[in-house]
Each structure stands twice: as C-alpha cells, then as structure tokens.
C-alpha cells in the first residue's frame, strides 16, 4: 500500500512517560546520551517539558528546569520540543495573573519550546485565552486541548463545542486529552469522526494505558482519521503511561497510515531507557512496575490517586472505610458539578470525599472546595445546586466572570519580593520559578545562586 496519510507520533519518554511510571525523576543527564538519536527518528514532536517536570527539577533533582530546556534545545535541532501547560494555572495549582502567564509562555518559547499543549481542568475556555494568545504571539504551535471525561454532562456535542471554541481562539491543532484512560475504542472512533467532520485543524489524541484499552483506542482513532498520537518508548510505556511507540509503529507498517518511522531505529534508544528506568527505581526507591487497573472505568480515579487516598485512610486508622470512599467519590463529583478528575480538581474532589467518609458529610470543607463551588477555578461542566452552594459557601460572593480578572499584575511585586530576599538581579526565568513554587525555588536558589 502507498503511504498516503502517515500517523504522526509525539514521543513522551522525556515527560509523561517518566511522570507516569517513575514519579518524574528522570534527570537531564539520563536524557543526554540519546537526544541526537531521538532527534533523527522522525517524530512530530518530543514532549519534554511542562506537566510536573518543572516542579520535580527544582524540588527533587536540584536542576534548573529552564537550563534543562535550553540543553534539550541544543541537541534537538530538528524535532520541536512540546510542553504541557495548565492554562491560567501555568504549571502550578492556582490561577496566576495574566502578566505571569504571558511572560511564562514567552520565556518558554524563547528557551526552546516549539509546541504548547494548553488545557484547563474544567474545560473552561476563558482560562485558556491568555496563554493561547501569548503562545500564538510568541510563534509556537498552539495546541488547544480539552480534557476527556465521562458524565451525564459530557458527550460528543459538548466536546465538539469546546474544540470549536479553541479553534476560534487560534488553536493550530486540537488534542483530546484522556488523562485517566477512560476513552473506549468505539467511542474514540465516533469522537474523532465528529471532530474531523467539523474542524479544520489536525486532531491529536493523548491517552493513558490505565484501564488497559489505550492501544485499541488508538487503533480505532487511527481508522477514524486521527492525525497525531502520543506514545512512549517501551521501557516507559504501558501501566499508567502511554502505548509503546515501537508497538504502534510496527502495527501500522505497510498500511496507508504507516508512520514512516523505522522501528529498528527505536530499539537501541529503548535499551538506553531500560537501563535508566532500572537505575531510577534503585536510586529513588520507586515501584516502576505499575499494573493496569480497569476499576478506573467505574471510579474515574487515576491509579496513583487511589493509592494515595488509601494511604491517607490508613494513616487515620480508617482503612476499613476505603470501600465507602470509593462510593463517596462519584457522589461528591456529581455534587461539585462533574469536574473532570485531573490536577487540581482530582485532588480537590478526592480530599473532600475522604473528609466526608472520615468526619461525616461536609462537616469540614477545605478552602479549595469552597473556591471550586463559588467559581474561583472557572465554570463547572454541570450547574451546581443552589442549595448545595449555600451550604458550602454561605453568603460568599459567586464568581461568574473569568476568575483571573480578579488578579492584579504580579511580576513587579514578585521581582520586589525576590530582591528583598537577597536576589536583586534575578533573571525573569528565576522570577517565574519563584512565582510558581516560592518555597521550593528559594531553597534551590540558596544552593545554586549564591
């Protein structure tokens, strides 16, 4: 068959692969020996920055994430570097002022990022406007992403509407971001068909192997005409990561969707990362053998979060209430307006469910839950019952506008704070690191900037 419509692949081994299976502990030195080889494979992009890598560099690896980006860019001369950005949350857990978002995007592109995938936990497009415009202005490929989830308020039409809004905002491509591995093969086929019929930019699919369906989902999406998919080289694939690059490349060989990538080229690179994974497991005492867990299809809770919640219950001496927690989680999610369970909404929903089971329903309500209910994170997919809103936030004002409109510019005050802490000549990059993770960044500066 002639190679008419090659499926393009984004390699995630340098970001989501090790974030999913090795607690984001891969170091720049682990990547360096094979960067030129990766650059020559023929990937559409290599995802290597954003997500949890920024925090992990500063917090655990004593590395400057900006320096990592510049180093990667020196070696990846042909293949764009892709990053994951949480819209107005940038890479943190709260909304930042527009000037921080803009500056961060400009600096990311200037330091080497070529593709920016931008999403919002609630699929509230207002939270993506500033980041998408800035990325466009900076000259990056702007990928608008919607978070895939299952609820009575999420269907093909609702996802299509978000995708159209993202194209309106200037998205160069659209990504279906399935962070929990919930997207079933035939549903993927229909969703991709729907998007392809109505939208004139490439459609990209990102999923995780968590439920065990990911390779089948990719195959049906490819049959439906998806343009780009995310894969990880085999040592950092499967489990809660992506399908294996080599397997997908092999599966499509000789078809009209042949990727054009030579699988033999991937084997020595995979061998390198096999050794890296073993070493990371030993150095950081990690369990990298993560099983698939089909229960995610019922609870929609990513596997890592389930084990965290179980540990919390054990620490409180309430491990016997764990089955109750699993039943409480979907109930809380429905009451909170069916947010997709992705950072930070997964943590907010999970901790509320845990409090309810341990202390009684809504006896204690964390500030983040109140903020979610009153609209501080944006618009929830389903309207929240007014009675429930009153019970949770009383007479606190409800936010119906874009939440970041309430945040005054922050860059000047952040510079000022850093100067007062002994860093009067901090680079813009250091100011941004401090903006996102103040305590962690200061600790890093003490060691590396004196």
Q: Per-residue pLDDT averaged across 210-214, rounded?
A: 95
- CATH of the structural domain 8-284, one choice from 3.40.50.970, 3.30.565.10, 3.20.20.70, 2.30.38.10: 3.20.20.70
Element (H, E) at 82: strand 81-85
Whole-angstrom Cα distance, residue 213 to residue 117? 23
Residue 433: what pLDDT?
98
HEC string of 118-141 equals: ECCCCCCHHHCHHHHHHHHHHCCE
Residue 347 has a pLDDT of 87
Residues in the chain: 450
Examine the pLDDT at 3 and tell me if it is beyond 70.
Answer: no
**Tens-place pLDDT, residues 275-301:** 999 999 999 998 888 888 888 888 777
As assigned by CATH, the class of the 409-449 domain is mainly alpha
Q: Which single residue is written with the structure tokens 């809103």? A: 389
Using DSSP, state whether 144 is helix, strand or coil: strand
Q: Do residues 341 and 302 touch, judged by C-beta distance below 8 A?
A: yes
Instruction: List Cβ neighbours of 155 (8 Å cut-off, separation of 6 or more).
Output: none
301-404: CATH superfamily? Conserved carboxylase domain (1.10.472.90)
Q: Is the separation of the CB atoms in 329 and 301 below 8 Å?
A: yes
What pLDDT shows up at residue 292?
Answer: 87
pLDDT at 1: 44
Domains of the chain, by residue range, sit at 8-284, 301-404, 409-449
Q: Is the peptide bond before 344 cis (omega within 30 degrees of 0)?
A: yes
pTM score: 0.95
Whether the domain at 301-404 and the domain at 409-449 fall into the same CATH topology = no
Please check whether residue 27 is in contact with residue 276, taking contact to mean a CB–CB distance below 8 angstroms.
no
The pLDDT value recorded for residue 178 is 96
Query: DSSP secondary structure string, 209-239?
Result: STTS-HHHHHHHHHHTT--EEEEB-GGG-ST
What's the pLDDT tens digit per position in 381-412?
999 999 999 999 999 999 999 999 999 999 99
Which residue blocks in 139-184 are alpha helix, DSSP H?
156-168
> What Rg do the C-alpha atoms of the chain give, in angstroms?
21
Contact by Cβ (8 Å): 329, 361: no
- How many whole angstroms separate alpha carbon 140 and alpha carbon 80? 10
pLDDT of 303 > 80? The answer is no
> Which tens digit of pLDDT belongs to each residue from 137-186?
999 999 999 999 999 999 999 999 999 999 999 999 999 999 999 999 99
- Please name which of 206, 231, 209 lies closest in space to residue 13, comparing C-alpha atoms: 231
Band (pLDDT 50/70/90 cuts) for residue 366 is: very high
DSSP assigned state of 10 = E
What is the rounded average pLDDT of the residues 426-448? 98
């Amino acid at each position: 068959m002639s190679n008419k419509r090659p499926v393009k692949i984004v390699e995630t081994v340098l970001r989501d692969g090790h974030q999913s299976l090795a607690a984001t502990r891969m170091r720049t030195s682990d990547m360096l020996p094979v960067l030129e080889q990766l650059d020559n494979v023929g990937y559409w992009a290599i995802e290597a920055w954003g997500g949890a890598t920024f925090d992990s560099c500063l917090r655990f690896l004593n590395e400057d994430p900006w320096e990592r980006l510049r180093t990667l860019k020196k070696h990846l001369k042909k293949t764009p570097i892709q990053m994951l950005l949480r819209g107005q949350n940038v890479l943190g857990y709260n909304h930042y002022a527009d000037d921080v978002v803009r500056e961060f995007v400009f600096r990311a592109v200037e330091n080497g990022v070529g593709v920016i995938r931008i999403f919002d936990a609630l699929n509230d497009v207002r939270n993506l406007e500033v980041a998408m415009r800035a990325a466009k202005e900076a000259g990056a490929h702007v990928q608008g992403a919607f978070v895939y989830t299952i609820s009575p308020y999420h269907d093909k039409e609702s996802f299509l509407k978000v995708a159209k809004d993202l194209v309106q905002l200037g998205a160069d491509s659209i990504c279906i971001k399935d962070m929990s591995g919930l997207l079933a093969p035939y549903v993927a086929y229909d969703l991709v068909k729907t998007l392809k019929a109505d939208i004139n930019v490439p459609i990209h699919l990102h999923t995780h192997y968590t439920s065990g369906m990911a390779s089948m989902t990719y195959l049906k999406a490819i049959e439906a005409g998806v343009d780009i998919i995310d894969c990880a080289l085999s040592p950092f694939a499967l489990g809660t990561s992506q399908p294996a690059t080599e397997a997908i490349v092999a599966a499509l060989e000789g078809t009209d969707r042949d990727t054009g990538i030579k699988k033999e080229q991937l084997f020595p690179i995979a061998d390198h990362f096999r050794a890296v994974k073993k070493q990371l497991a030993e150095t950081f005492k990690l369990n990298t053998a993560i099983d698939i867990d089909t229960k995610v299809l019922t609870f929609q809770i990513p596997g890592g979060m389930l084990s965290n919640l179980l540990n919390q219950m054990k620490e409180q001496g309430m491990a016997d209430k764990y089955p109750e927690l699993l039943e409480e989680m979907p109930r809380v999610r429905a009451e909170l307006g069916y947010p997709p369970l992705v950072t930070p909404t997964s943590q907010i929903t999970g901790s509320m469910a845990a409090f309810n089971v341990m202390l009684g329903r809504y006896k204690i309500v964390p500030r983040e839950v109140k903020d979610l209910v009153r609209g501080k994170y944006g618009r929830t997919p389903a309207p929240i019952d007014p009675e429930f809103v009153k019970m949770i936030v009383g007479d606190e004002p409800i936010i119906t506008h874009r939440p970041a409109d309430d945040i005054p510019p922050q860059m000047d005050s952040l510079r000022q704070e850093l100067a007062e802490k002994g860093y009067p000549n901090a680079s813009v990059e250091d100011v941004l690191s401090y903006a996102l993770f103040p305590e962690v960044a200061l600790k890093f500066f003490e060691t590396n900037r004196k």
